[in-house]
Amino acid sequence: MRSGRAEGALAEARRLDLAIYRAVADTRTPALDVALARLSQAANHSKISIGLALALALSGGRKGTRAAVRGMASVGVTSAVVNLAFKPLVRRRRPDRQGLFALGRPRVRMPTTRSFPSGHTAAAFAFATGVGQELGWAGPPLYALAAVVGYSRVHTGVHYPLDVIVGALAGVALGELTGACIDRAACPRPADSGRYQSQGVSVPTSASSSR
């Protein structure tokens, strides 16, 4: 009984997912098409995040460098988990955009990898999460940029909306997990703390207290 309801709910979610995808395809947006296609391509291999991380490291001092490291560490972990675990496990095919999108709309190359979840979206949200842990003011604009990157993947026809939504959630979750691991690694173990204090060395209780 419960499995039947679950299957029904899943089928409805897929129909809604496809309906939104088709609605985006049917909507004419010539003023946005070129910009979103370029943004989608710029996000390949996390090039936008890499550029922003370099800018933070070069101009943001120590705090900017720490934010850049957290952001790129989050991207690395998220990309590995999404591409090596999630995509092969779910194995969802890419959308068939043939006949759905207007001929005049700029397109990006259809990736050969599986569709679910969106790796571009996951990496962008992971970067925003990692940087925001160190620089709170940078979080909102980076999340906004990540959301636009995610939408651009639907707009250009290479992802379904559900791929992007789950990618965003995965990016935030894995970014938070990566940050927690960094904080844990930076904190001294109790045994080490006691040893240092016995030698007259002061050890901070939390390496993240300066954030």
* Each residue's pLDDT tens digit, 7-56: 888 889 999 999 999 999 888 888 899 999 999 999 999 999 999 999 99
* Phi–psi pair at 131, nearest 5 degrees: -65, -40
For the record, the structure tokens of 190 come out as: 């109790």
Q: Is the pLDDT confidence value at 206 over 80? A: no
Average pLDDT, the chain: 88
Q: Which of 22, 32, 28, 43 is nearest to 149 (CA)?
A: 43
Interaxial angle between packed helices 30-42 and 139-155, expressed in degrees from 0 to 180 and rounded to the nearest 10: 110
For residues 170-189, average pLDDT: 92
124, part of any domain: yes
Domain count across the chain: 1
* Phi–psi pair at 104, nearest 5 degrees: -80, -10
203, part of any domain: no
Lookup result for tokens 């499995």: 3
Write out pLDDT tens, residues 15-27. Answer: 999 999 999 988 8
48, part of any domain: yes
40, part of any domain: yes
Q: What is the pLDDT of residue 210?
A: 45
Q: Which of 40, 51, 55, 49 is nearest to 72 (CA)?
A: 49
- Which structural domain, as residue segments, surrounds residue 95? 2-198
User: Highest-confidence range of 7-16, 96-105, 163-172, 178-187, by mean pLDDT?
Assistant: 163-172
109, part of any domain: yes
For the record, the structure tokens of 89 come out as: 């496990």
207, part of any domain: no
- Counting every residue written for the chain, the total comes to 211
15, part of any domain: yes
Domain of 15, CATH number, reads 1.10.606.20
CA 139 vs. chain centroid, Å, equals 13
Q: What is the pLDDT of residue 23?
A: 92
121, part of any domain: yes
% of the chain with per-residue pLDDT over 90 = 71
Please state, in angstroms and rounded to a whole number, the distance separating the CA atoms of residues 89 and 92: 9
